[in-house]
Amino acid sequence: MSCVCVLTPVVIAAWPSFSAAVLSAAATLGYSVATSDSSESSTRQVSLQVERSEIVTDPLGRDQRLSIFRDGVTITFSRDARGRAAICVTGLGRTDEELRTLGQELGQRVVQQYVYQRLKSEMAARQMMIVEEAVDGGHAIRLKVRQWKN
Amino acid sequence: MPNREFDLTIHPDGRVEVHVKGFPGKACLEAAKFFEETVGEMLTQQATHELYEPEEQVQYRLENRR
C-alpha cells in the first residue's frame, strides 16, 4: 500500500506567482530587492535560463522583470522572447563561473519555492493537511501530509 | 477512518520525492498521479512490496444468536 516516486518540476506560471517564488528564494539566500539597475560597463554578465519554464504573458503588459542583489552581485529574472524564465547575473570582480554558479543556485531555489507554493495550494484544495514541515541541513523542504478518507 | 499519508521532499533543485502510503493496491499509483499533474514529469516510480496487498474489502460476519 505504498509507492515512491520522483518528479522533476515544470514551471508554468503567471508573473505574479513566479516573482513571489523569486522573492521567497532570494530571502532564503540572503538577497534583497535591488532598487535600481546597478550594472556598470565594467561588470561581467552571464545569462541563464530556468529549465522547463514558461512564464505566462501579463495581459496588462506590466514590466515582467525583478532584480535582487547581494555582495555586489545583481541577479535579474525576466521573461524572454520565447516565454521562458531568463536569469541575468552581473557582478564586479567575479568570474563568469562564479556568476553562473550563483545564478544556477538561485534559479534552482526559485523552482523549489515555486513547487512548494504550488503543492501547498493544490493540496489545501484537496483537503490534504500538512502536519509536519521542516527544512533539513541540505536545504530540502520536508513535508508530512495527511488526508482523511471520507 | 484510517488516514492516508504522504512524505514529500522538495529538494533544493526543485526535484520532488513523494512517498505515498495508505492506499490500497494500485490506487497508490493513481494517488501519485496527483503529484505528477501538480509538479511536472515523473522521473521514477517504484512500488513497495505493500502495493501487491489486496485492495480493501468490507467483510460482514453473520452469527447465529440464541
Contacts of A128 in chain B (CB under 8 A): 6
Consecutive 10-residue runs of chain B (66 residues): their mean pLDDT?
83 94 79 91 80 55 62
Joined grid coordinates for residue A104: 544556477
Q: Which of B1, B19, B36 sits opposite A7 (nearest CB)?
A: B36
Q: Which of A8, A115, A145 sits opposite B43 (nearest CB)?
A: A8
Give the pLDDT mean for A140-146. 96
DSSP string covering A67-114, please? EEEETTEEEEEEE-TTSPEEEEEEETT--HHHHHHHHHHHHHHHHHHH
Please name the helix (run of DSSP H) or strand (run of DSSP E) that holds residue B35, with its range, or none. Answer: helix B27-39
Q: Name the one residue in this structure whose C-alpha cell is 493537511.
A: A129
Query: What pTM did the predictor assign?
Result: 0.85
The pLDDT value recorded for residue B21 is 85
Which value does ipTM take for this structure?
0.88
Is B56 near chain A, with CB under 8 Å? no
Cβ-based neighbour number of residue A15 at 10 Å: 22
Is B44 near chain A, with CB under 8 Å? yes
Is A120 near chain B, with CB under 8 Å? no
